[in-house]
Amino acid sequence: MTIKPDFSQSVPDNLGHVHFIGIGGSGMSGIARLLIQSGHKVTGSDVRESGNIEELRKLGAHVFIGHNANNLGDADTVVVTSALWPTNPEYGLAQEKHLPILHRSQALKYLTTDKKLVSIAGAHGKTTSTGMLVTGLRVLGKDPSFVNGGVIAEYGASAASGSSELFVIEADESDGSFLHYQTSIALITNVDPDHLDHYGSLENFENEFAKFANGASDFVAISSDDPGAVRVTKLIHDKRVITFGEEPEATVRVINLDASGAQVSFDLKYENEIYSATLRVPGKHNAINAAGAFAVLVGLGLDPEESLQAIATFGGTERRFELHGEARGVKVYDDFAHHPTEVLAALIAARAVVGSGRLITVFQPHLYSRTRLFAKEFAEALELSDEVVVLDIYAAREDPEPGVTGALIADAFLVQKRMHYVPLWDDVPCAVAAIAKEGDFVITMGCGDVYRQVPGILKALEE
Least confident of 271-280, 394-403, 447-456: 394-403
Catalytic residue among 126, 142, 284, 331: 126
Residue 383: pLDDT over 90: yes
Distance CA 74, CA 59 (A): 20
CB-based burial label for 424 (10 Å; 0-12, 13-18, 19+): exposed
Compute CA 254 distance to the chain's CA centroid, rounded to the nearest angstrom: 23
The proportion of the chain whose per-residue pLDDT surpasses 70, expressed as a percent, equals 98
Per DSSP, the residues of 147-165 read: EEEEEETTTTEEEE--SSS
Give 27-83 pLDDT, tens digit per residue: 899 999 999 999 999 999 998 888 889 999 999 999 999 999 999 999 999 999 877
Mean pLDDT of 424-429: 96
Active site (annotated) includes residue 127 = yes
Let me know: does 162 contact 95? Beta carbons within 8 Å.
Answer: no
Q: How far from each other are the two terminal CA atoms of the chain, in whole angstroms?
A: 41
Distance CA 241, CA 235 (A): 11
Domain boundary among 311, 338, 364: 311
Q: Residue 194: its pLDDT value, please?
A: 65
Q: Residue 199: its pLDDT value, please?
A: 54
Give the CATH number of the domain where residue 434 resides.
3.90.190.20
Mean pLDDT of 78-101: 92
Closest CA to 119 of 142, 144, 100: 144
Radius of gyration of the chain (CA): 22
Confidence of residue 129 (pLDDT cuts 50, 70, 90): very high
Give 219-240 pLDDT, tens digit per residue: 999 999 999 999 999 999 999 9
The crossing angle, in degrees rounded to 10, of helices 284-299 and 304-311 is: 140
Distance of CA 148 to CAs 30, 119, 163, 248, 446, Å?
7, 10, 17, 31, 18
Query: Does one domain contain both 422 and 449?
Result: yes
Number of domain units in the chain: 3
Per DSSP, the residues of 3-67 read: PPP-TTSPPPS---SEEEETTTSHHHHHHHHHHHHTT--EEEEESS--HHHHHHHHHT-EEEES-
CA atoms in the 13 A half-sphere facing the CB of 352 = 19
Query: Does one domain contain both 400 and 433?
Result: yes
Q: Residue 195: its pLDDT value, please?
A: 53
Q: Residue 200: its pLDDT value, please?
A: 63
Active site (annotated) includes residue 211 = no
Catalytic residue among 90, 115, 116, 170: 170
Residue 151: pLDDT over 60: yes
Of residues 158 and 94, the one with the higher pLDDT is 94
* 77-80/101-103 β-pairing: parallel
Whether 12 maps to a domain, the answer reads no
Closest CA to 202 of 123, 125, 127, 149: 123
Give the CATH number of the domain where residue 197 resides.
3.40.1190.10
Q: Residue 270: its pLDDT value, please?
A: 98
Mean pLDDT of 274-296: 95
Q: Residue 96: its pLDDT value, please?
A: 96
Domain boundary among 260, 276, 311: 311
CA angle 223, 224, 229 (to 5 degrees): 60
Query: Does one domain contain both 373 and 283?
Result: no
Q: Residue 198: its pLDDT value, please?
A: 57
The pTM is what? Answer: 0.81
Active site (annotated) includes residue 49 = no
Distance CA 227, CA 232 (A): 9
Q: Residue 196: its pLDDT value, please?
A: 54
Query: Does one domain contain both 89 and 141?
Result: no
Query: Does one domain contain both 289 and 249?
Result: yes
Residue 93 structural domain: 18-104
